[in-house]
């Protein structure tokens, strides 16, 4: 019998080698108690959270929690059904209304996760004979959406406008085209030149989908994302987003002004063939989304945090993913996986949690310590974080 | 462009990525013999696409394992 698991042997070996160095398993962390959006107890130690994507700190907002509790009481713990059968309750409709208000768009469709939103929309709208032109550093859910559909998939070098244009130009006359971009790329925390890229996509008659998972709530005058910030949201056909970051719960969505958009509810399999979100989840999301429309102060503080941390880490001598802070993700580049894991562990001992990202999820096979800031990190916490990095950097031999 | 001319151009484009100077024949595989990783594949495919002004989609790439198969595919894509 061929062991179907033998293909994972290199991965199993890599993990074993890493753990043999004695480091704590970076992928086995458990939070025993969560005190606030920025602090939890991990391994009995109070730990500052700097790797949660909880950008706007909505997870403990009293209004958000109250809305969830009420929906739990009023509608029960779950829907036990698909959105198109018995799984649409009034809170599901209400969160779609909230999204339409938030983005100023005609249609909103809520999926069980952001992963499924990308999977469903991309695989459904781009069919046989169509072309998907996408950035090579796209999120796994975008790639999987491409893989699930029947379209021709054509990647281009990250954020390379000329490479994108060349590929659009070469697509056969008459073929349907979808350009897929992200506002913020979560590995390095860099943003896309959406305005220029979307103008070119339009010129070649392509439809445009932008994943704004890592920008919602704090980039753009109304927190609608990088496309809004750059003044090109009107030229985006489909915005994909998630509730699992700034909104502070779970779920995904697509908003659009396409006049035929509603048909997606019947033809999009990752929407139809799975149970809808629990009513408490969509109720918390609706409350959170509406509160994000009036969060200018929080937004300003989050940017302040991002600038302070970026400068502090750069001045300490760390190599960062971007020269300037472009989002609420500050990515610290590690020399290799082993020292990355050592640094990650040293930070954890200091009482700081960050995300360790390693190949193959990372661009150019880099090992990264990704820091995502929260609007509720205090200025003092950010200074504490910088000190922790300096000490851990010396312990791990990186500084 | 005929097969021989296409093959010659592709061979020239492989050279800078052929770190171990492997002798390239129609049966030479990119992953196995030339040890191309995913980053190398991306740069190499872009170089071929630019040279011949064609698109080799991921779907088409999945069918191409060897130099010979690539030459055939490029001949076909040039129409
Ligand atoms: C760019 C991007 N798109 C989509 C997703 C998926 O979001 P969700 O957590 O809701 O599945 C993520 C989250 O990791 C992401 O980073």
| Cα–Cα dist A277/A257, whole Å | 24
Q: Which residues neighbour A208 within 8 Å (Cβ) at sequence distance 6 or greater?
A: A178, A179, A181, A198, A201, A202, A235, A236, A237, A238
Ligand 1 mean position to A245 CA, how many Å?
8
pTM: 0.96
Phi, psi angle pair for A191, to nearest 5°: -105, 165
Ligand 1 mean position to B32 CA, how many Å?
33
* Mean pLDDT confidence for B54-78: 95
Question: Which ipTM value was assigned to this complex?
Answer: 0.93
List A253's β-bridge partners, or say none.
Answer: A110, A241
Ligand 1 mean position to A37 CA, how many Å?
19
Residue B74 has what pLDDT?
A: 96
- Interface contact A170-B55, CB threshold 8 A: yes
For Cα atoms A208, A358, A33, give the angle at the middle one, nearest 5 degrees: 95
Residue B49 contacts A, CB cutoff 8 Å: yes
Which member of B46, B53, B55 has the closest CB to residue A171? B55
Q: Which residues neighbour A364 within 8 Å (Cβ) at sequence distance 6 or greater?
A: B39
* Chain B nearest C-alpha distance from A171 (Å): 7
- Interface contact A365-B49, CB threshold 8 A: no
Contacts of B57 in chain A (CB under 8 A): 131, 152-154
* Chain A nearest C-alpha distance from B15 (Å): 21
| Cα–Cα dist A225/A245, whole Å | 13
- Interface contact B49-A157, CB threshold 8 A: no
Residue A365 contacts B, CB cutoff 8 Å: yes
Contact by Cβ (8 Å): A112, A282: no
* Annotated domain spans of chain B: 3-78
- Interface contact A131-B57, CB threshold 8 A: yes
Share of chain B above pLDDT 70, in %: 100
Contacts of A165 in chain B (CB under 8 A): none
Residue B1 has pLDDT above 80, yes or no: no
Select B3-78's CATH number: 3.30.200.20, 3.40.630.40, 1.10.1200.10, 1.25.40.10: 1.10.1200.10
DSSP secondary structure code for residue B29 in this structure: B
Contact by Cβ (8 Å): B49, B77: no
Alpha carbon nearest to ligand 1 atom 7, residue: A114
Q: Which residues neighbour A69 within 8 Å (Cβ) at sequence distance 6 or greater?
A: A280
Average pLDDT of each block of 10 consecutive residues along chain A (399 residues)?
95 90 85 97 95 98 98 98 97 98 98 98 98 96 98 96 97 96 97 98 98 97 97 98 98 98 98 98 98 96 98 98 98 94 94 92 90 98 98 94
Contact by Cβ (8 Å): A108, A258: no
For Cα atoms A20, A23, A28, give the angle at the middle one, nearest 5 degrees: 105
Q: Which residues neighbour A362 within 8 Å (Cβ) at sequence distance 6 or greater?
A: A187, A368
Which residues have C-beta atoms less than 6 Å from ligand 1?
A 113-115, 118, 139, 141, 182, 186, 211, 213-214, 242, 244, 252
- Interface contact B55-A153, CB threshold 8 A: no
């Amino acid at each position: 019998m061929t062991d179907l698991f033998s293909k994972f042997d290199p991965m199993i070996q890599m993990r074993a080698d890493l753990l043999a160095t004695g480091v704590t398993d970076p992928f086995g962390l458990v939070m025993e108690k969560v005190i606030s959006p920025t602090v939890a107890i991990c391994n009995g130690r109070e730990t500052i959270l700097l790797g949660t994507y909880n950008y706007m700190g909505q997870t403990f907002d009293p209004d958000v929690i109250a809305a969830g509790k009420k929906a739990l009481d009023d509608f029960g713990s779950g829907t036990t059904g698909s959105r198109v059968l018995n799984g649409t309750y009034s809170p599901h409709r209400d969160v779609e209304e909230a999204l339409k208000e938030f983005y100023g768009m005609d249609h909103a469709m809520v999926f069980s996760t952001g992963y499924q939103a990308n999977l469903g929309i991309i695989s459904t709208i781009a069919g046989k004979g169509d072309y998907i032109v996408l950035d090579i550093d796209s999120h796994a859910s975008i790639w999987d959406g491409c893989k699930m559909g029947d379209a021709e998939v054509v990647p281009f070098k990250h954020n390379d406008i000329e490479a994108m244009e060349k590929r659009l130009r070469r697509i056969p006359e008459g073929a349907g085209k979808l350009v897929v971009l992200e506002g913020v790329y979560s590995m390095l925390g860099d943003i896309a030149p959406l305005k220029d890229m979307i103008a070119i996509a339009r010129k070649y008659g392509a439809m445009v989908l932008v994943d704004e998972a890592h920008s919602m709530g704090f980039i753009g005058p109304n927190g609608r994302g990088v496309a809004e910030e750059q003044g090109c949201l009107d030229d985006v056909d489909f915005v994909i987003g998630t509730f699992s970051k700034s909104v502070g719960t779970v779920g995904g969505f697509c908003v659009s002004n396409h006049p035929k958009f509603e048909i997606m509810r019947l033809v999009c399999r990752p929407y139809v063939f799975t149970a809808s979100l629990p009513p408490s989840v969509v109720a918390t999301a609706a409350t959170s989304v509406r509160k994000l429309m009036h969060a200018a102060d929080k937004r300003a503080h989050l940017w302040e945090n991002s600038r302070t941390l970026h400068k502090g880490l750069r001045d300490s001598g760390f190599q960062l993913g971007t020269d300037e802070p472009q989002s609420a993700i500050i990515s610290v580049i590690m020399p290799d996986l082993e020292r990355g894991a050592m640094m990650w562990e040293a930070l954890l001992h200091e009482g700081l949690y960050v995300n360790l990202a390693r190949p193959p999820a990372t661009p150019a096979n880099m090992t990264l310590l990704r820091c995502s800031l929260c609007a509720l990190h205090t200025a003092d916490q950010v200074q504490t974080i910088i000190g922790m990095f300096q000490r851990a950097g010396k312990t791990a031999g990186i500084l | 462009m005929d097969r021989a001319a296409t093959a010659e151009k592709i061979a020239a484009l492989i050279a800078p990525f052929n770190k171990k100077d492997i002798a390239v024949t129609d049966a030479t595989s990119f992953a196995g013999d030339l040890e191309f990783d995913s980053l190398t594949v991306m740069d190499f495919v872009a170089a071929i696409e630019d040279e011949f002004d064609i698109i080799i989609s991921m779907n088409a790439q999945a069918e191409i394992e060897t130099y010979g198969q690539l030459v055939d595919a490029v001949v076909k894509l040039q129409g």
